[in-house]
Amino acid sequence: MARSPKAKIFTPSDELSLLRLADVSGQPAPHAPVTKPSKLAQPSKLAKPTKPAGGAAASDHAQLAMPTVLLYTDGACSGNPGPGGWAFVLKHPATGKQRVESGAELQTTNNRMELQAVISGLALLNKPTRVELTSDSQYVLKGLREWLKGWKAKGWKTASKQPVKNRDLWEELDRLSAMHQLQFHWIKGHSEHPENEQCDRLAVEAYRALQKQK
């Protein structure tokens, strides 16, 4: 898997644990695909966070103290299935800093790359965080908001009793997103949204670079 150079991101001194500093070293993110597809997790909207001691007031305070990041993601694929890439831009508004990563697989699908982009971004957060997730994938956003709970209740079967596709990635996304408070924002692809265009470009560059290594 090819990965693009990373832009370093650090949180303020009182939030240094927000991002895994080890990832800045240039080592692959823990959930980035190498030879095997990653696994997935559950939206924070579906999994209500446990209220801290002190009742509603303490809970409200905890949510206000929760750091906020902006996560922009995209996936791309040539052939579907075929060579594909993913990318994300993770921004920390409090500092104005960001982190950018991308990766690729030789044989995958567009939906898997869309999922992997979100997984890889969330994998950097190691404390409860308010995440503003922006994606052009209805598959990802509707899956998190509407479908995931039902799939799990039916034993990872769809409404038509068929096995859920990309279950490995959905299970990992379910695990990761349950740790955070996610807000979802859908945008139309190729609509000149700056971060979405950036992610699309990086995802395409990633799989093309991987193809050249063959």
Q: Give the pLDDT confidence of 111-169 residue by residue, as tens digits.
A: 999 999 999 999 999 899 999 999 999 999 999 999 999 999 999 999 999 999 999 99
In a domain, 166, yes or no: yes
Residue 117's nearest CA partner among 74, 77, 179 is 74
Q: Is the peptide bond before 81 cis (omega within 30 degrees of 0)?
A: yes
Domain count, the chain: 1
Catalytic annotation on 75? yes
Catalytic annotation on 82? no
Catalytic annotation on 31? no
Scan for tokens 């997935």, then name that residue: 40
In a domain, 108, yes or no: yes
In a domain, 203, yes or no: yes
In a domain, 148, yes or no: yes
Catalytic annotation on 174? no
From 23, 105, 114, 174, the catalytic residue: 114
| Tokens, residue 123 | 């994998």
In a domain, 75, yes or no: yes
Q: How many whole angstroms separate alpha carbon 174 and alpha carbon 205?
A: 28
Q: Write the DSSP symbol of residue 91.
A: E
CA gyration radius, the chain = 17
pTM score of the predicted model: 0.73
In a domain, 3, yes or no: no
In a domain, 58, yes or no: no
Counting beta carbons within 10 angstroms of the beta carbon of residue 24, is it exposed (0 to 12), middle (13 to 18) or buried (19 or more)? middle
In a domain, 57, yes or no: no
CATH number, domain of 183, equals: 3.30.420.10
Catalytic annotation on 205? no
Q: For residue 110, give its domain range.
A: 13-47+64-212
